[in-house]
Structure 1
Amino acid sequence: MQISEAWLREYVNPAISTEELVAQLTMAGLEVDSVMPAGALFSRVVIGEVLTTEKHPDADKLKVCLVNMGGNEPLQIVCGASNVRPGLKVPVALVGAVLPGDFKIKQSKLRGVESAGMLCSEKELGIAADASGLMELLHDAPVGTDIREYLSLNDSIIEIDLTPNRADCLSVEGIAREVALLNGMDWTATPVKEAKINHQDSLPIVIEEKSACPRYLGRLIKGVNPKAETPSWMQERLRRVGIRSLGAVVDVTNYVLMELGQPLHAFDADKLVGGITVRMARNGEALALLNGQTITLDNEALLIADEKQSLALAGVMGGSDSAVNDSTQNIFLECAFFAPRAIAGKARRFGLHTDSSHRFERGVDATLQHRAIERATQLIIEIAGGSVGPISEVKDDAILPQRPAILLRRQRIVKMLGITLPDDQVQRILVRLGMCIDQHPEGWLITPPGFRFDMAIEADLIEELARVHGYNNIPNNSLLMRAELGKATETVLDIDRVKDLLVDRGYQEAITYSFVDEDIQQAVVPEDGLIKITNPISSDLSVMRSTLWCGLLKAALHNLNRQQNRLRLFETGLRFLNVSGQIQQQKMLSGLILGSYYPGQWGERPRKVDFFDLKADVQALFSLAGRPVQYVPAKHSALHPGQSAQILSQAGEKIGILGMLHPSLEKQLGFETQVFLFELSQDLLLNKTVSRFKSLSKYPSVSRDLALIVKDTVSADDIIAAIKGSNETTIQDIVLFDLYRGKGIEENHKSVAVSITVQNFSQTLTDVEIDAIFNNILQKLAKTIGAKLRD
């Protein structure tokens, strides 16, 4: 939220600097994001009035203007703005003026015509980022007055980042209340007088959904001046809180919104048919909004309607068909309380976010509406005139938010804060917070005001006391407590240890959204059903992920587009599956590698990562857990059919999958290099086999190499399993160290070389015993997988 410091100081003006004020607000929990000047630095710019304009003799787009500056003689200034015209009052930079960007104004000639200054736009004065022409001032702007003084530009714009629970500070009065509280000062709210009633006409109001709208006020104001101009002071205040001027009536509703925190809306009364009804929309009902967007509604959207048509999306935005415009003379002014639950998420569903929805979603004071509509009426009559009708009100007190009393105990304050606050200080803080206080034997009974939705339990009140007393004023005390170490089982591997291993192998951890783009999800795992989010924060985050690959692939592309061509990423998190209509969550560990195997260096020739590099990383994880696993060929829609493998436990459980991204998907997503992925179930990965000590043999070991001819369909696991199946107890290690296809090897066959180490624990093996062991192994290999020794 943006706020003008000068506007704030009209309510409460502590004797502190802007920097001290900003620090004070931040330490009180209202974090200040930025402080900017209301206008850039410039000098010698005053208000002038254009008397005459003539076409430049040598330039079609330039005009020669005579400008009254309040002196004896008008100035001649050449101007090219399209909106320059006689009678216009505009900022004029005199000769010697210095504009933002150190732009100095000098006496000059433009195409041979003398020009003694420059007529200025808002952009040239640093007031706005863009401008379509000269800055047009009101007709009553005093000629010759310094523009900085006229617009009160010696001001700061403070941007405050409010947490969702502090909706009470979404107004100037709300911030003023906080500043007064923090400085121990009194402050006075904006005085509001009830308008004099000039006629008795009104519109009937019917509320069909009282749970969503328990209070609705409306008033007819007739005969407003459609040509009335918003005063410059109001336009400037609106600009400084980030709202542009849209006409007197709309500006008043926006002004009251920022002043008091209560959204209002004005309808063109002549466009309404019959009375006002607050109801739920009908499925398929359309509404044309003020922003030019037409939305199709369902029966979960709350509407303001008349007898003929829908008028506004309640609490969010008005409709264009009933909007006030330059010819509106009769208005119906609306001011309502909408329940936060009824408004929450409705704006985002239609891609909207408005000042009104921002406040109604968080909670608006349910007692503020009468004061707000009277304040808006007061300003409309002052600016645009009109004849005021009575306020029509429909409300249900039983549904309006209630504020039950909360017991605040002295002993509880001491226990939670570790300090004793004097009773008078507690009461003073709570009174300045707007609380009603009744005495109680244990402390106080506190009734929160209507604007503090976040005050519900005793801890909330104690938190407020700490915040206002000052966190820095609470001493640091060491907590003395008996601690008992928890028991850690060796059968479960800690996920942090797994992460450490991946980091040691060159990976970096990524954290991505649990909701992803529907298109990516469909491309990667089309077989998984979509779990769509009812109110997505954006259209490209609309479904829950069924694989962590979606986020990792997007992160990889983001890095590749920023010249990071060697990537190793991993992520731990939940995936979401729709199983027989039930949403299931599964903890997963996923990873991705691409680019060069080695970082840039001189000692090795560069090469791209491949399937086996990824498999080595995955195997290291299972080695950490002491878990033997099997890798079997697998098919997956996102992976290359010839370079993908299912990972199985010894019992046949599916632990995960790894492989190369399918070339078609690689191209579809925009990768220009091969990508390798893995995904593992955390629950199965982290089941650790407890290590057990095995005594070492004091007798020597013997290693022999076997070069075996096998069919291409025989895997390394098949060979190792066959060797172990020989039941030779002396076998200590089996290592595959060579693979050959080509000359001397028949078609559809390959040569696989393995090194087998044998060792006895009771004696030294003799050559005869070793020969017998290896003959037995060869017989088992021939019988089981058809292997034979290579010549």
Structure 2
Amino acid sequence: MRVPLSWLREYVDVPQDASPEDVLAALVSVGFEEEDVHGFELTGPIVVGQVVEFVEEPQSNGKTIRWCQVDVGEEQGGVRGIVCGARNFFEGDKVVVTLPGAVLPGPFPIAARKTYGHVSDGMIASAKELGLGDEHSGILRLVELGIDAPAGTDAIALLGLDDVAVDINVTPDRGYALSIRGVAREYSHATGADFRDPGVRHADEVAPGVGFSVAVEDAAPIRGRVGATEFVARVVRDVDPTKPTPAWMVARLTLAGIRSLGILIDITNYVMVELGQPIHGYDLDKLTGGITVRRAQAGEKLETLDGQVRTLDAEDLLITDESGPIGLAGVMGGGTTEMSGTTRNVLIEAATFDTVSIARTARRHKLPSEASRRFERGVDPAIPLVAARRVADLMVEFAGGTIDADYGTALFAEISAIEIRLPAGFVAGLIGVDYTADEIVTALELIGCAVAPAEDGWTVTPPSWRSDLTDKWTLAEEVARIEGYDRIPSVLPLPPSGRGLTPAQRGRRRVANALAAAGFVETPSFPFTTEEQNDLHGSPTGEHLPSVKIANPLDGQAAFLRRSLLPGLLQVAHRNVSRGFTDLALFETGTVFLPKPGVQYGTSYVPPLAVRPSAAALAELDESIPPQQRFVSLLLTGNRIAKQPGQPPVPVDIADGLDAVRVIASAAGVTLDVFQAQGKPLHPGRTAVLFVGETEVGYVGELHPDVVADADLTGRVVVAELFLDRLLDIAGERVVAASLSGFPAATQDVSLVVPADVPAGQVRAALTEGAGELLESLRLVDDYRGQGLPDGSKSLTFALRFRAPDRTLTAAEATEAKLAGVAVATERFGAAIRD
């Protein structure tokens, strides 16, 4: 929000010697953020000059210049010769002359220089060169601004070019500060300076008028909120739109970041900035019948002031007449009824529109405006009548015309003031400062609240312009702001015991940290993919499973919620490989969406934004969300060991994937059983399914070469995906470390001949089960298939280590335990000890 200081001084006593930095410091003390200081960046001498005479001189380049004699006043040397290329002025005109030594915005220094055969002793300036607008086709004639001043008068002060504006950042909850009125009040709070409120209603403006016909039709409010709660219409007749906008008004609007567009539009913008109430003016003669405020019909069209034809949504609030839509309420008017240079009669609109409706319309049509910016933050509901009267008075003063005696208003709602119960000790307990009762009451009354004593506290009624004050917490924040943030002590809060990460959160962190320590890089990705990728990677058997389609996807080609993390990892791998990073070890932990067949997910219900949804509404929203599970997935490609002197490169393979999933299992606190398997996107013979006991927890394998090629990758790509939530549930909250025995171990080996199609993991599980508690570890050390074995069989050699916690085992005890394990393997698979 840019605030010209001359404008601010009209409503609050800012010292004349106060610098912009002083004003910013005061506003910062009451919670605003300092942005910048803006000015016209001019230095004199810049004066009023009168064109005494000129001679038109055609040039060889086809251009005609004027050699002018301009009186700039006795103090500036009288009549000076100036070359000017513009031709829109006449002898006797008063103009703005920049004399040698002046500096214009740019910076553009002015000096006497020889041009077109003359020494030009200065420059006659245009509005654009002075920073007053975009007009640069001709020089600025003061008669067009209604100004008549003697030659030699300081033009900087005359045109208001000596003013500066401070720029502050207004947070969304403080929409009242998007006005000079609001900022002046806040400056008063900060400094104690006297504030004069320009938004006070007159006594005759407290009842509905009977003038121009206006109707509001909003029979089916959206989300329980009515689109318009007040609509005021005033009519000004016989205006002259060709009248110049006063120079001081142009200067203030320019400093506020709004360009001048003619006297009628300038006045509506001026009042909007002054009071914070957006105003729209219609050419009354272009209206057909009265005005109706209603919701749009789906598919209706409207051409807005920017020349764009927009297709409307049923939620959009419209201003209409008998011809149809003529404006998007609170956002932008329509092109058919806009004010122009031929307008003679004006209808002024000042209304209170629903904040949520305006915000959604502006975003839906990608049409932010100064009006929508204010409406979506909340406009004082008591100000429309005052703003409409202010606009009408300014139009009469500067554009002529007369005001109709009656004004029309379709709605004149009583301003509902909420009462907030503020307990006596609440503010001090929340802020940590021992405020006295007088300090609390004074601070709240200063911002406009009505404070009444109540049992053990107060009843507080916020002012109409503070819609952000809704509960005792926001009141406490206001007390802290007004009394000064510097009073709040810097104390580090101590968390209560028993708080911290949940067991599941700790487990997920252990897994992520373990993978990072093993050399993997975490690469979070968007949870959106295609249905084809879901069928490929998110279906264990490759058949089509239901996926959740997003109603408004960020990317139309990826409109489904993922069933697997692998599509995102493949995209990341492709992006890195295309940029030259070929050796990759990536992982991601995240949620996948696994809808139940036959269940329709999603809802058309949109909860209100201004209040907390009810328990029933939250339950309905929960039911509309598909079941989610947290997975951990990884991807390896390229070389595990890079090529180097004396060392050939070692590409990744499934063994590296198995090592990685064992890292995950160790961090989760479980032991994995690995069994050979097959899957649609994976290479046959290089795929394993992972179990913990009888529970399947994921898979690991190399991607099929066709899938690798489709992903624009080369070489081997090893992937793994584990059901992280399931892993952590199996592990439980706490991993208990086994006690260590101080007695020596007994080691033995056994080679078993089994059918070739029997997985080694199943044989290992049988040995483990049969060997009993004395078995400390068991690992496969050899898999032999060849000469000396029956056809269709293989020899698996296992290394076993036995240990007792209370004694030294004998060889006989170890052999007995080993043979017990062999017996189980023989029973299940026909295993025989190899001679």
**Which bin holds the TM-score, normalised by the shorter protein?**
0.7 to 0.9
Does residue 1:623 correspond to 2:631, yes or no? no
Shift of the 715–26 alpha-carbon distance from structure 1 to 2, 3 Å rule, reads farther
Aligned residue in 2 for 1:495: 508
Whichever residue aligns with residue 207 of structure 1, its letter is V
Matches within 5 A, 1:542-621: 579=596, 580-581=599-600, 582-584=624-626, 586=628, 588=630, 590=632, 616-621=659-664
d(CA) in 2 for partners of 1:493 and 1:623? 14
Shift of the 337–594 alpha-carbon distance from structure 1 to 2, 3 Å rule, reads farther
Does residue 1:651 correspond to 2:694, yes or no? yes
Secondary structure at the counterpart of residue 281 of structure 2: strand
Matches within 5 A, 1:255-404: 255-389=270-404, 390-395=406-411, 397=413, 402-404=416-418
Aligned residue in 1 for 2:441: 427
Aligned residue in 1 for 2:231: 216
Aligned residue in 2 for 1:451: 465
Cα deviation per residue 1:117-163 (whole Å; 9 max; x = unaligned)? 567778877889x9976785763366766665455455554443333
Shift of the 547–702 alpha-carbon distance from structure 1 to 2, 3 Å rule, reads closer
Structure 1: unaligned runs, 5 residues or longer: none
Secondary structure at the counterpart of residue 259 of structure 1: helix
d(CA) in 2 for partners of 1:561 and 1:154? 57
Matches within 5 A, 1:721-736: 721=765, 724=768, 732-735=776-779
User: In the TM superposition, what is the alpha-carbon distance from 1:177 to its structure 2 partner?
Assistant: 0.9
d(CA) in 1 for partners of 2:320 and 2:743? 93
Whichever residue aligns with residue 186 of structure 1, its letter is D
Shift of the 488–173 alpha-carbon distance from structure 1 to 2, 3 Å rule, reads closer
d(CA) in 2 for partners of 1:57 and 1:360? 55
Aligned residue in 2 for 1:26: 28
Worse-matched range after superposition: 484-493 or 236-245: 484-493
Secondary structure at the counterpart of residue 443 of structure 2: helix
Does residue 1:756 correspond to 2:799, yes or no? yes
Cα deviation per residue 1:270-290 (whole Å; 9 max; x = unaligned)? 222111111121122112222
Aligned residue in 2 for 1:11: 11
CA contact (8 A) 1:287 1:296 kept: yes
User: In the TM superposition, what is the alpha-carbon distance from 1:331 to its structure 2 partner?
Assistant: 2.2
Shift of the 492–428 alpha-carbon distance from structure 1 to 2, 3 Å rule, reads closer
CA contact (8 A) 1:275 1:306 kept: yes
Secondary structure at the counterpart of residue 625 of structure 2: strand
User: In the TM superposition, what is the alpha-carbon distance from 1:347 to its structure 2 partner?
Assistant: 1.8
Aligned residue in 2 for 1:405: 419
CA contact (8 A) 1:206 1:394 kept: yes
Structure 2: unaligned runs, 5 residues or longer: 220-225, 536-544, 601-623
User: In the TM superposition, what is the alpha-carbon distance from 1:254 to its structure 2 partner?
Assistant: 2.0
Does residue 1:471 correspond to 2:485, yes or no? yes
User: In the TM superposition, what is the alpha-carbon distance from 1:612 to its structure 2 partner?
Assistant: 5.8
d(CA) in 2 for partners of 1:538 and 1:92? 57
Does residue 1:239 correspond to 2:254, yes or no? yes
Larger radius of gyration: 2
d(CA) in 1 for partners of 2:584 and 2:161? 51
CA contact (8 A) 1:221 1:386 kept: yes
Query: What number of residue pairs does the alignment pair up?
Result: 770
d(CA) in 2 for partners of 1:707 and 1:53? 116
Matches within 5 A, 1:680-695: 681-687=723-729, 688-689=731-732, 690-695=735-740
d(CA) in 2 for partners of 1:767 and 1:733? 18
Aligned residue in 1 for 2:169: 161
CA contact (8 A) 1:195 1:374 kept: no
User: In the TM superposition, what is the alpha-carbon distance from 1:672 to its structure 2 partner?
Assistant: 9.9
Whichever residue aligns with residue 305 of structure 1, its letter is T
Aligned residue in 1 for 2:178: 170
CA contact (8 A) 2:700 2:721 kept: yes
User: In the TM superposition, what is the alpha-carbon distance from 1:705 to its structure 2 partner?
Assistant: 9.6
Aligned residue in 1 for 2:198: 190
Q: How much is the aligned-residue C-alpha RMSD, in angstroms?
A: 5.4
Shift of the 44–386 alpha-carbon distance from structure 1 to 2, 3 Å rule, reads same
Secondary structure at the counterpart of residue 225 of structure 1: coil
User: In the TM superposition, what is the alpha-carbon distance from 1:165 to its structure 2 partner?
Assistant: 2.1
User: In the TM superposition, what is the alpha-carbon distance from 1:173 to its structure 2 partner?
Assistant: 0.9
d(CA) in 2 for partners of 1:137 and 1:339? 44
CA contact (8 A) 2:127 2:136 kept: no
d(CA) in 1 for partners of 2:244 and 2:574? 52
User: In the TM superposition, what is the alpha-carbon distance from 1:413 to its structure 2 partner?
Assistant: 3.8
Cα deviation per residue 1:619-673 (whole Å; 9 max; x = unaligned)? 3222111123456657578x899988765543334558887699879978x9999
Shift of the 611–343 alpha-carbon distance from structure 1 to 2, 3 Å rule, reads farther
d(CA) in 2 for partners of 1:305 and 1:54? 53
d(CA) in 1 for partners of 2:634 and 2:59? 70
d(CA) in 1 for partners of 2:135 and 2:657? 56
CA contact (8 A) 1:644 1:658 kept: yes
Shift of the 730–436 alpha-carbon distance from structure 1 to 2, 3 Å rule, reads closer
Identity rate, percent:
30
Shift of the 63–385 alpha-carbon distance from structure 1 to 2, 3 Å rule, reads same
Secondary structure at the counterpart of residue 291 of structure 1: coil
CA contact (8 A) 2:673 2:761 kept: yes
Secondary structure at the counterpart of residue 215 of structure 2: strand
Shift of the 417–22 alpha-carbon distance from structure 1 to 2, 3 Å rule, reads same
d(CA) in 1 for partners of 2:781 and 2:669? 22
d(CA) in 2 for partners of 1:608 and 1:699? 40
Cα deviation per residue 1:496-555 (whole Å; 9 max; x = unaligned)? 434433443456667777xx7x7x556754766445467x99999998776667887888
TM-score (norm 2): 0.74
User: In the TM superposition, what is the alpha-carbon distance from 1:706 to its structure 2 partner?
Assistant: 7.3
d(CA) in 2 for partners of 1:297 and 1:66? 56
d(CA) in 2 for partners of 1:445 and 1:163? 27
Secondary structure at the counterpart of residue 345 of structure 1: helix
Cα deviation per residue 1:356-397 (whole Å; 9 max; x = unaligned)? 222222322111110011111122222322232221012253
Shift of the 339–763 alpha-carbon distance from structure 1 to 2, 3 Å rule, reads same
